[in-house]
Amino acid sequence: MENLLRTGIREAVRSLYGKDASDDQLQIQKTRKEFEGDLTLVAFPLASLSQRSPEKTAGEIGEYLAAHLDAVSGYNVIKGFLNVTIAPAEWARTLQEISGVTRYGFMVPGPEAETVVIEYSSPNTNKPLHLGHIRNNLLGFSLSRICEAAGNNVIRTNIVNDRGIHICKSMVAWQKFANGATPATTGKKGDHFVGDYYVLFEKQLREEAEKLIAAGATPEEARDNAPLMQEARRMLVKWEAGDPDTVSLWQMMNSWVYEGFDVTYRALGVEFDKIYYESDTYKVGKEIVLRSLGEGHLVRRDDGSVWIDLTADKLDQKLLLRSDGTAVYMTQDLGTAVIRYNDYHFNRHIYVVGNEQNYHFQVLALTLLRMGYDWAGGLHHFSYGMVELPEGKMKSREGKVVDADDLIAEMTETATVMSQELGKLGGYNETEKRNICRQIGLGALKYYILKVDPRKNMTFNPAESIDFNGNTGPFIQYTYARIRSVMKKAGETGVKAANETVGGVIPNLKEVSVIKLLNDFPALVREAATGMSPALIANYCYELAREFNQFYHDFTILGESDEMLRSFRLRLSEMTGKVLESGLWLLGIEAPERM
RNA sequence: GGUUCCGUAGCUCAGUUGGAUAGAGCAACAGCCUUCUAAGCUGUGGGUCGAGCGUUCGAGUCGCUCCGGAAUCACCA
């Protein structure tokens, strides 16, 4: 519709003023609610072409359009704005057109489609997932679906930080204090089980350190010299040396954690195509660094440590290998990137990682480029903001973290209570009830997190997140369920949306509003992919649901006696349902048939 | 201190490449179920878009300065 108008205006300008308007002189936008019309041409930029005032220009173009374009049924000029009214019948034809499109809004990857690797989640194996990971997982997974919908080949990937001092701490504590307990003997979820020993380690360490401080040590010395800490370090050295007992303990405890993570991932509904482990990739990283050193891209200091000098790019010098030859964080990320490129030859690689690591990813991409890996130009850091609580930042040291599993359980529980109170669960068996409440609880949680611009820090207010009214996931799910209910009833009574008649209706204002939104969907998906913003999809779904609910409230669908109109409204509802379902799908939110 | 990001209604957030009188939800108050699902719909009140200067026909949006907050600048990850 917009393109139609665009060419029309271009013709008008040529015919009226004998000049060609450039793309950025043709500013078309949606007409604001308080004015009459559908699309608005901003005439200010054209005034220089027409040599007339913006008002006069707008008026002349409006007159031309009304005379030459069938789709244009009227216009008005306010200041320098030309508000064009599209004939309502034109919108009916639009509905007919888009409802014939298979997988509306989703592009099929063509031969020239890009391969996009998306890394998200990236947990440490010493403790369970928390609220921060939830934002990461939801953003990453949603983004992966959005990129797919925009016509890319997407590889979902995860990097598990399975080695290092943190897991050694849990291992030491388990060895000393567990008496052979396992998740199986205690009935505890594996990641929580291992996390408990990490916490226990820190607690015992604190006690040891306090004794040393009392004996005159500085806090730093105390932590460093405490027997437990030294034991953890010995453990790490043994691990790196490949000591069989240590390695098998490490494998056992990590396997417990993975079992736990799997449960959480399944509950969240996120998936991966390929999982990488840092215990594999750090070695490749070291090789790459050493090779690059040989090629003269890096510098070795007297103490043997290896650095890259990025001062020419206004960054600092960055350590790539310690003086003892061991790898740092950057080393393994270099390795992981190279392995992934060899695996997939991606065009783009998106890292979904918090904004605290902005600097790290700048350095990562630059370093790879310096080393001669040109594909590193396709590395993007999808940097999202922190999640804070109403009382401030989450602090794992003080136990002020929101556990992922707890949160999911609470949301589901709230949904169950709420559904019961509203009497929504009649006619369901237990399995169905549980499933529907799970869908709603998770829908609320996911939407609450995804509706916020990813770049911004956000406040997670527990009381607000379980609200199911207004701008929430359940509101959108509810709208979808309502539509399904209508469709079901239509099927039962044999009413059908006859496509050939849909385009012949003159829709009312509310109906036009809905169609306009439906018409926006494909462009919005592309925009969300380019801008890497699930929030765009979320807010669109809300707007569409709200607009549809108004229509639903004001007009009857199945009760309409005019057959053509009833058919049209049914098709409008069906299409809205499809788009809502697609939008929710892109957010990783399930759309319940009934609620 | 350097770099980056953020600041919009009491609270949580939208606000397209600069466009008209800055929008939702929550909370508060007042209405609407004999009807396709009231997890809905309608209405009322609520703003110095952190402050100032500049660019522009036009600035919440762009530039500069300042104020406030966050992150980062590790032989941590």
Using one digit for the tens of pLDDT, what is the confidence trace for A67-94?
999 999 999 999 889 999 999 999 999 9
User: Do residues A349 and A380 make contact, with C-beta atoms less than 8 angstroms apart?
Assistant: yes
Q: Which nucleotide is nearest to A483 (CA to C1')?
A: B36
The pLDDT of residue A48:
85
The pLDDT of residue A223:
85
In chain A, what is the straight-line distance between the N-terminal and C-terminal CA atoms, in Å? 36
The pLDDT of residue A415:
95
What is the C-alpha separation between A576 and A542, in angstroms, rounded? 12
In the predicted structure, residue A500 carries a pLDDT above the cut 80: no
Distances (CA, A) of A385 to A119, A353, A382: 17, 9, 10
The pLDDT of residue A463:
86
- Residue A476 is encoded by which pair of tokens? 């959108």
Residue type, A131: L
Q: Which is nearest to A91 in space by CA: A506, A532, A559, A571?
A: A506
What is the C-alpha separation between A317 and A294, in angstroms, rounded? 18
User: Do residues A73 and A54 make contact, with C-beta atoms less than 8 angstroms apart?
Assistant: no
pLDDT tens-digit readout, A352-403: 999 999 999 999 999 999 999 999 999 999 999 999 988 888 877 666 789 9
pLDDT grade, residue A591 (50/70/90)?
Answer: very high
Q: What percent of chain A has pLDDT over 70?
A: 99
Q: Which is nearest to A287 in space by CA: A333, A328, A246, A335?
A: A335
User: Do residues A56 and A81 make contact, with C-beta atoms less than 8 angstroms apart?
Assistant: no
pLDDT tens-digit readout, A159-213: 999 998 899 999 999 999 999 999 999 999 999 999 999 999 999 998 998 998 8
Average pLDDT rounded to a whole number, residues A579-586: 98
Residue type, A95: L
The pLDDT of residue A245:
94
Q: Which is nearest to A289 in space by CA: A303, A277, A304, A276?
A: A304
The pLDDT of residue A498:
73
The pLDDT of residue A397:
65
Q: Which residue has the higher pLDDT, A107 or A313?
A: A107
In the predicted structure, residue A225 carries a pLDDT above the cut 90: no
Average pLDDT rounded to a whole number, residues A574-581: 97
Rounded to whole angstroms, the distance from the CA of residue A74 to the C1' of nucleotide B57 is 26
pLDDT tens-digit readout, A319-342: 999 998 888 999 999 999 999 999
Rounded to whole angstroms, the distance from the CA of residue A288 to the C1' of nucleotide B70 is 35
In the predicted structure, residue A33 carries a pLDDT above the cut 90: no
* pTM, entire model: 0.95
**CB neighbours (10 Å) of residue A395?**
10
The pLDDT of residue A126:
92
Q: Which residue has the higher pLDDT, A504 or A383?
A: A383
* CB-based contacts of A181, cutoff 8 Å, min separation 6: none
Scanning the structure block, which residue is given the tokens 């947990």? A123
The pLDDT of residue A502:
79
Residues across chain A:
595
Rounded to whole angstroms, the distance from the CA of residue A29 to the C1' of nucleotide B13 is 24
Q: Which is nearest to A256 in space by CA: A177, A193, A197?
A: A193
Q: Which nucleotide is nearest to A425 (CA to C1')?
A: B37
Give the residue whose CA sits closest to B24 at C1': A471
Q: What is the mean pLDDT of chain A?
A: 93
Residue A308: its H or E element: strand A306-309
User: Do residues A128 and A405 make contact, with C-beta atoms less than 8 angstroms apart?
Assistant: yes
Give the residue whose CA sits closest to B40 at C1': A549
Rounded to whole angstroms, the distance from the CA of residue A319 to the C1' of nucleotide B59 is 44
Give the residue whose CA sits closest to B6 at C1': A456
The pLDDT of residue A394:
82
Q: Which is nearest to A519 in space by CA: A101, A107, A96, A94?
A: A94
What is the C-alpha separation between A438 and A441, in angstroms, rounded? 5
Least confident range of A52-61, A144-153, A477-486: A52-61
Average pLDDT rounded to a whole number, residues A140-145: 97
Rounded to whole angstroms, the distance from the CA of residue A456 to the C1' of nucleotide B67 is 20
- Look at residue A299 and give its three-state secondary structure: strand
Handedness of CA A251, A128, A454, A108 (dihedral sign): positive
Rounded to whole angstroms, the distance from the CA of residue A403 to the C1' of nucleotide B10 is 30
What is the C-alpha separation between A94 and A98, in angstroms, rounded? 6
In the predicted structure, residue A224 carries a pLDDT above the cut 90: no
Q: Cα A123–A126–A127 angle (5° rounding)?
A: 75
Give the residue whose CA sits closest to B27 at C1': A464
Catalogue all structural domains in chain A, each as residue range(s) with its CATH number.
Answer: 2-86 (3.30.1360.70), 120-388 (3.40.50.620), 404-586 (1.10.730.10)
